[in-house]
Chains A and B, each alone.
Chain A
Amino acid sequence: MFAKSPPAALRRLFDDVGTVDQVGIEERVAKYTTRSIKKTAKVWGLKKAVSMVDLTTLEGKDTPGKVASLCQKALQPHDESLAVPPVAAVCVYPAMVRHAKKHVADTAIKVASVATAFPSGQSPLKTRLAEVRAAVADGADEIDMVINRGAFLAGEFGVMQDEIAAVVEACGDSALKVILEVSELETYDNIRAASFLAMRVIREGDFIKTSTGKTSLNATLGNNQVMLEAIRDFYLDTGVAIGMKPAGGIRTAKQALQFLIAVKETLGDAWLTNERYRFGASSLLNDLVRQLEKERTGAYQAPYYFSEAAESY
Chain B
Amino acid sequence: MTRLPITKTPKPYVGGAFIRSESGRTFPIRDGAGNFFANIPQCTRKDLRNAVEAAAKAGPGWARRTAYNRGQILYRMAEMLESRSVEMVVAFNPAGEKAGTSAAREVRCAIDRLVYYAGWADKYEQVLGSVNPVASSHFNFTVTEPMGVVGVIAPDESPLLAFISLIAPVIVSGNTVVALASEKSPYPAILFGEMLATSDLPGGVVNILTGFRKELVPTFATHTHLRAISAAAAMGGDERKVLRLGGAESVKRVQFAAANGANAWFDEAAQSVYAIRDFLEFKTTWHPVGA
Contact = CB atoms under 8 A, between A and B. Distances in A.
Physical contact A–B (CB less than 8 Å): yes
Contacts, number: 16
A187 B288 contact: no
Contacts of A187: 291
Interface string B271-291: 000000000000000001111
B136 to A, nearest CB: 8
A23 B290 CA distance: 6
Nearest to A23: B288
A24 B288 CA distance: 8
Interface string A154-196: 0000000000000000000000000000000011000000000
A26 B289 CA distance: 12
A304 to B, nearest CB: 41
Contacts of B291: 22, 186-187
Interface in B198-251: none
B65 interface: no
Interface residues of B, number: 6
Nearest to B287: A23
A187 B289 CA distance: 13
Contacts of A26: 137, 290
Interface string A9-28: 00000000000011110100
B134 to A, nearest CB: 12
A98 to B, nearest CB: 44
Contacts of A24: 288, 290
Interface in B31-67: none
Contacts of B289: 23
A186 B291 CA distance: 9
Interface string B117-145: 00000000000000000000110000000
A191 to B, nearest CB: 12
Interface of B: 137-138, 288-291
Interface of A: 21-24, 26, 186-187
16 contacts: A21-B288, A21-B290, A22-B288, A22-B290, A22-B291, A23-B137, A23-B138, A23-B288, A23-B289, A23-B290, A24-B288, A24-B290, A26-B137, A26-B290, A186-B291, A187-B291
